Structure 1
């Protein structure tokens, strides 16, 4: 996978995460609302940075979809927490690919994004995964 393709995939994943956190924010309990807001803002910032990176690599940034199909109905705070953990797992997987496809500073940034997603997933889930970003590939 080329650096541009991996960056586009990461951008698409961030678009989906931003959308998903909109749903999480609408269903999350008040005790975790600040955490959901911080994650939403982090994904927006990563999305915006990836748009610039795609342009720097000579590509046209992939656009966000109008809506995304959720993996399950989110009807309550528990569902919102499950969705948030899943979003972070998915983003971590894409950043894992980006780490492999890049080098230098770009690889460091991708590794940092992978680490941040893995930490957020642990916080949401309450447990860790041995190899963040690879769990969904098994």
Structure 2
């Protein structure tokens, strides 16, 4: 699940635990497990799209929770206002993915009760680092989503990718040429052969 891969702390309506307090995601009862596949008549590409949408939804659950931690560690200034704006944007994305999944006949993934922070967040520097981490990790989720969904949904996924990349930049993350796509490894070059005079 992408939310676990994010390593951030995002939940829905429940308040976040104290920073650095590990909490484990509860397991849903057997009857409440999310449905990752659309209706039986769906094509394999539709199933892949639903899986990617579930991953994006899980990541947004994590981001909403994480911004609860971020906001709690920021002073009452422009940074906190930015965190509130980002929190609202991630709630809106989460809600839109839930509606889309439901319209496709899938049961949207529920938020966990809590998420493990990727590192301790005890001050403003840690909060801004967590915000940059959340947004950077979401760019990878949305790059995957852009590749998996059909045209009408691809536009929304691309918008989400762009917004996360811009927020990551604002929080101090390093810029990349293609947000969400890992940099290619350098190719080894052969040593030039010595030539005789």
1:8 aligns with one of 43, 49, 54:
54
- Within-5 A mapping of 1:27-106: 27-31=73-77, 32-106=79-153
2:70 aligns with one of 16, 24, 32:
24
The RMSD of aligned alpha carbons is 1.7
SS, match of residue 88 in structure 2: helix
Tell whether the 8 Å contact from 2:74 to 2:80 is kept in structure 1 after alignment: yes
TM-score when scaled to structure 1?
Answer: 0.94
Unpaired segments ≥5 residues, structure 2: 1-46, 186-197
1:37-72, CA deviations, whole angstroms, 9 ceiling, x for partnerless residues? 000000000000000011112110000000000100
Could you say if the C-alpha distance between residues 92 and 72 of structure 1 is closer, same or farther in structure 2, counting changes exceeding 3 Å? same
**CA shift at 1:29, angstroms?**
2.5
Distance 2:97 2:180 in 1: 18
Q: How many residues align?
A: 138
The structure number with the bigger radius of gyration is: 2
TM-score when scaled to structure 2?
Answer: 0.67
More off after superposition, 51-60 vs 9-18: 51-60
Question: Where does structure 1 differ by over 6 angstroms across 4 or more consecutive aligned residues?
Answer: none
**CA shift at 1:134, angstroms?**
2.2
Tell whether the 8 Å contact from 1:93 to 1:136 is kept in structure 2 after alignment: no
**CA shift at 1:126, angstroms?**
5.7
Q: Which has the higher helix share?
A: 1
Unpaired segments ≥5 residues, structure 1: none
